[in-house]
Structure 1
Amino acid sequence: MTDQISPPSGSGLDIEIKKKKRWPWIAAAAVVVLAVAGGISYAQFSNKDKPFGTNLPVATWSTDIAAENLLSYIATNIAPDHGITIEPVKIDNLIEINRAVDAGTVAGNFFEHQPFLNDAIAANGFQLTLAAPTFTWDQATYSDKYRSWDQVPSGAKIALRDDPAGQAIALLDLAHDQQITLKPGKDTLAGLPQLDDIATNPKNYQFVQVPIGQLARSLADVDAVVVHISDVYAAGLTEEQILAREPAPKGSEGGLVVSNKHIDDPNVQKLIDTFKDPRIAEFLETTDNKLIRDTLGPIS
């Protein structure tokens, strides 16, 4: 069910917004964490005061297979030169992946950018730091109906993520493509623009907010979806469905997140140095791994 929001006079806005839900950082969540190897489960428990050894578990979100592949490369080719072993772990819950780092269950995670992390910290009081920005996510607009913005008609339905950080990046993508303009002070990621920060919407697009895990499926019901490519790659969306590619906004770099409580741990410092190794950027620029090449990029 959706609510129609009356646009400001003369703005040309026609915004379709789902009934407000509290962003799930605040909701109760399952606390099962899945490891890559052997189906091991990590119960939610505190390890806050225990230092890490040289074997360091690092978590990725279970559906971000591009970050998972990049983590595997780093674990195999970079970490040994820094005197540590990275144990990749997959966690299938966007709250628990940060909670696991905060509790010391894992040494870090590798799946988010600063605006997304800010939401988690504000809602849960986590003490976390993006210690080593490592890559950018390629952005794209997908459509099954149109091959360019010129073909997209007035009143078209455009889907974007319903979380504040994901929504902000999608709106900046649309502004980059000159499909909308944003209010002054809301035209950078630091401004965290949301739907009510749209200043002009010349083609009267209807914007539909969709949870991250449903974006790929929503394409059949809308005219276009604006998203991180890695959010929908695993669901089978293809290059042929991309209407436009957009650059990652400054400030949306992804990388290694660690707990403030462990940031001075000598082995966590080795982990941070690993993710700052310049060979990672070189790999992102030259890899033949199509999954990584088509979805992630180096930080310029």
Structure 2
Amino acid sequence: MAKKSIGIITSLLIILSIFVAGCGATKSSETSGSNASAQGNAEEKTDKQEVTLKVGAAAVPHAEILDFIKPKLKEEGVNLEVVVLDDEVQLNPALQDKQIDANYFQHVPYLGSVKKEKGYDFVPVTKVHVEPIAFYSDKVKSKDELKEGAKIGIPNNPSNEYRALALLQQQGLIKLRDGITTYEATPQDIVDNPKKLEFEEVEAPTLVRSLPDLDGAIINTNIILEAKIDPNTALFREDKDSPYANVIVVRKGDENRDEIKKLDAALTSPEVKKFIEDKYGVAVVPAF
């Protein structure tokens, strides 16, 4: 009887040990599967590396607009690095030399003039905003107060010089010769100048400093904003239909890069439109 009991107990112990071993194997298998899954997820995250996109920009408002969209692009895997140079003219050479991936400071007529001069193979990809060029003066309160022989400052680069003269023509102060079909014109192209206005052609960034010595000057809005001057003090400005929208510019062939497309989409979102309108008012107008 005792031997029979011992046999039964032994059999039960064998069955129990087999059951425990089976459970352990199942648990080990589950743990192994879980670890494999975790490793797979980690590898997947590693594959989705963040891409850095360097965009050269003017300080105001361009860099400020780019800073606004940084968090949005971060969510989409793009680390936006904004590069501001002391001399904006160097932003095109920087793009040419591949120091940056894109730039944002110029309008299409200016781009056209430098492409022709320097041979850049660049393309504009997104119209973002217009900075209406405007007339400022420390000496008169309206254009009608301008006296004969008044000295007027205008930018000396081809596209903005034409832009300034076109604005003066729109205001009835001068008339340009017929047949100007490009964005290039100088005071020599003026055929009617009733007030015999005299023109000072200077580097655009120096116009603010020159203003006290002039009767007035036509100045780009980004320069006005950087100088902390209220753009509402302008006597007159371009209207909203200005063709001088500031654009994102890239090297030809880069316009289809995924991160450039994400940049374009972020810059033309309703959130950016509201940001521009709320922050800059009449000084900067969305172009989308």
- Rounded Cα–Cα distance in structure 2 between residues aligned with 1:82 and 1:195: 49
Q: What are the ranges of 5 or more consecutive residues in structure 1 without an aligned counterpart?
A: 1-51
Candidates 119, 123, 126, aligned match of 2:117: 123
Give 1:85's aligned residue: 79
CA deviation after TM superposition for structure 1 residue 248, in Å: 5.7
Candidates 207, 211, 214, aligned match of 1:219: 211
After superposition, the C-alpha distances for 1:212-267 in whole angstroms (9 at most, x for unaligned) are 12110110111000121222322243357532233266321002111114223232
Candidates 44, 59, 66, aligned match of 2:56: 59
CA contact (8 A) 1:82 1:274 kept: no
* TM-score, normalised relative to structure 1: 0.72
After superposition, the C-alpha distances for 1:2-60 in whole angstroms (9 at most, x for unaligned) are xxxxxxxxxxxxxxxxxxxxxxxxxxxxxxxxxxxxxxxxxxxxxxxxxx962211111
After superposition, the C-alpha distances for 1:108-158 in whole angstroms (9 at most, x for unaligned) are 111100111122212222111111011000222111110001111111000
- Rounded Cα–Cα distance in structure 2 between residues aligned with 1:195 and 1:248: 25
Residues 168-177 or 242-251, more deviating: 242-251
Residues 230-239 or 249-258, more deviating: 230-239
Report the CA distance shift for 1:126/1:240 in structure 2 as closer, same or farther (over 3 A). closer
CA contact (8 A) 2:57 2:88 kept: no
- Rounded Cα–Cα distance in structure 2 between residues aligned with 1:95 and 1:240: 27
Q: How many residues align?
A: 240
Is 2:124 the counterpart of 1:136?
A: no
CA deviation after TM superposition for structure 1 residue 206, in Å: 0.2
- 3-state SS, counterpart of residue 88 of structure 2: coil
Is 2:143 the counterpart of 1:149?
A: yes
- 3-state SS, counterpart of residue 72 of structure 1: helix
Which structure has the larger Rg?
2
Give 2:281's aligned residue: 293
How do 1:8-47 residues align onto structure 2 when only pairs under 5 Å count? none
| Pairwise CA RMSD | 2.3
CA contact (8 A) 2:204 2:220 kept: no
Give 2:276's aligned residue: 284
Report the CA distance shift for 1:268/1:179 in structure 2 as closer, same or farther (over 3 A). same
CA contact (8 A) 1:71 1:110 kept: no
Amino acid at match of 1:155: G
Give 1:274's aligned residue: 266
- Rounded Cα–Cα distance in structure 2 between residues aligned with 1:71 and 1:268: 13
CA deviation after TM superposition for structure 1 residue 88, in Å: 1.1
- Rounded Cα–Cα distance in structure 2 between residues aligned with 1:193 and 1:75: 39
- Rounded Cα–Cα distance in structure 2 between residues aligned with 1:261 and 1:86: 20
Give 1:13's aligned residue: none
- 3-state SS, counterpart of residue 193 of structure 1: coil
Is 2:63 the counterpart of 1:68?
A: yes
Give 2:27's aligned residue: none
Give 1:244's aligned residue: 236
- Rounded Cα–Cα distance in structure 1 between residues aligned with 2:240 and 2:206: 21
* TM-score, normalised relative to structure 2: 0.75
CA contact (8 A) 2:50 2:79 kept: no
Q: What are the ranges of 5 or more consecutive residues in structure 2 without an aligned counterpart?
A: 1-48
- Rounded Cα–Cα distance in structure 2 between residues aligned with 1:104 and 1:262: 11
Give 1:42's aligned residue: none
Report the CA distance shift for 1:193/1:165 in structure 2 as closer, same or farther (over 3 A). same
Candidates 158, 167, 176, aligned match of 1:164: 158
The structure with the largest helix share of the pair is 2
CA contact (8 A) 1:137 1:248 kept: no
Is 2:194 the counterpart of 1:199?
A: no
Amino acid at match of 1:98: N
Give 2:95's aligned residue: 101
- 3-state SS, counterpart of residue 104 of structure 2: strand
Report the CA distance shift for 1:222/1:85 in structure 2 as closer, same or farther (over 3 A). same
Report the CA distance shift for 1:258/1:66 in structure 2 as closer, same or farther (over 3 A). same
Q: Percent of aligned pairs with the same residue?
A: 25
- Rounded Cα–Cα distance in structure 1 between residues aligned with 2:254 and 2:262: 12
CA contact (8 A) 1:132 1:256 kept: yes
CA contact (8 A) 1:55 1:84 kept: yes
Report the CA distance shift for 1:293/1:68 in structure 2 as closer, same or farther (over 3 A). farther
- Rounded Cα–Cα distance in structure 2 between residues aligned with 1:238 and 1:106: 32
CA contact (8 A) 2:138 2:215 kept: yes
CA contact (8 A) 2:129 2:247 kept: yes
